Amino acid sequence: MASNKKPWGGRFSQPTDALVEAYTSSIEDDRNIAEDDVEGSLAHAQMLGEAGIVAPEDAEKLVSGLQAIRTELHSGTFPWNAAFEDVHMNIERRLADLVGAEVAGKLHTARSRNDQVALDARLFLRRRLRAIQGRLLEFEAGLVAKAHQHVDTLMPGYTHLQRGQPVRLAHHLLAYREMFARDRGRVEDALKRALVSPLGSGALAASPHPIQRELVAKLLNFPAITRNSMDAVGDRDAFLEAMSAAAISMVHLSRFAEELVLWSSAEFGFVEIGDAFTTGSSMMPQKKNPDVAELIRGRTGRVIGDLVALLVTLKALPMTYNRDLQEDKPPLYDALRTWHDALEISARMTPELLFQKDRLREALRDGFVTATELADHLVIQGVPFREAHEVVGTIVAHCIQTKKYLDDLTVEDLRAFDSRFGDDISQWLNVEAAVERRNVVGGPARAQVLEALKTAQVEIQSARRTLDAADHHNSQHG
């Protein structure tokens, strides 16, 4: 069945098939960039007037009409019409209603849908990535606050999910904060290349009109313009960078969530997740399931899949724009939305984590976590580390066989394995002393953890001021 609508321009003698219209429509997905489309069009309209490409009075009408549409979008009163294939046509038709078809038709002078969409997507990226930076900062701040509460809480550190050496819980939590600080840096880095204006590139070969590309970039608060029109309309690197950052950060979130799932189990018993972030069982009344953490872990795969989907879409595209690129935004929208929501709920959940100090302390004794201390003690006595390692391994095997802990052994017991153990060996088996001996930058000693907390707070506060200033500048500009 054919629709009544003809394709673009007078080239076609038959209307578009209704199935084709439905198949090629992007209106539902692209509502995400409606306000970005208006923002880009406002700058373009102002430039058309400044450059004398359209009459000043027409430019004023275009700006006034677009501002009215922006208000409608913000208030939720914009009259969406599914009969129009995309967000751009919806806005253009609404603009025609407000300022007349003749004036509205001048808005598309000196631009193509190709460079228009490329600009809209970059504006969307700026808006969404700034919001994500805010969520990252909230989560980092929550981790730092929780770490402050547990500077003196000791626990086993793990490798291979086996107890290794004693550390402070604060040190463990700050390890996650480092991950998310790097994620925030990746966002900032991605924005540097995203905030380059492609408008003026046209369909692929720029415009013959005396456009002022730098003015458009200035009006949009973009530091630069693209340097090649063909690259500009087909480039989606900014999407890939943003989605790569999302995938990496979601992996970090998944690791955090995985530990919450493990640690909240009866087998570990290290933490209790707040009731508001858990669910019960439909059959087993005793259950308290870590559903939020599990969903974060599960949705990580979706974000990774979104990145792979776009990479595969782009991998074989010839220069410049191809309709395949309509498939760029759904995975982008999904990845950034999923990432944002996971960060937001993680930041909300973190203050409600109740760590079980007694259980953490008990786990320290069960896991021979001071075995390395014995080896290091022998090294100080002049024993080569490989030899010391073997001696201590033999002692651990003896403890397992006799069902003893390392701190059950006397100096005489230890000297039965190696006569070079010193009189102060009992001090090396103390977990607090073991942690404090690691008083190097990046280590778990109390002074180092306190310094790390101070540094983290300063960095978060500085980043928050920078982000607030950027948001203020953009809002003033808009």
Over residues 124-142, the pLDDT tens digits come to 999 999 999 999 999 999 9
Whether residue 299 has pLDDT greater than 80: yes
Domain ranges in the chain are 18-104, 113-139+168-362, 371-429
pTM over 0.85: yes
Q: Range with the lowest mean pLDDT among 13-17, 64-68, 236-240? A: 13-17
Catalytic residue flag (residue 377): no
**113-139+168-362 belongs to CATH 1.20.200.10:** yes
- Spatial neighbors of 71 by CB under 8 A, at least 6 apart, are none
Nearest to 396 by CA among 408, 383, 384, 385: 408
Q: Do domains 18-104 and 113-139+168-362 have the same CATH topology?
A: no
Q: Which residue has the tokens 């549409």?
A: 69
Catalytic residue among 160, 282, 419, 475: 160
Distance in angstroms (rounded) separating the CA atoms of residues 220 and 197: 8
* Residue 160 is among the residues annotated as catalytic for this protein: yes
Q: Among residues 64, 74, 265, 281, which one is catalytic? A: 281
Domain 371-429 has what CATH class?
Answer: mainly alpha
Domain 18-104 CATH class label: mainly alpha
- Answer whether residue 78 shows pLDDT above 60: yes
pLDDT in tens, 418-443: 999 999 999 999 999 999 999 999 99
- 308-323 core/surface letters (b: 16 or more CB in 10 A; e: else): ebbeebbeeeeebbee
Q: pLDDT per residue over 382-428, tens digit each?
A: 999 999 999 999 999 999 999 999 999 999 999 999 999 999 999 99
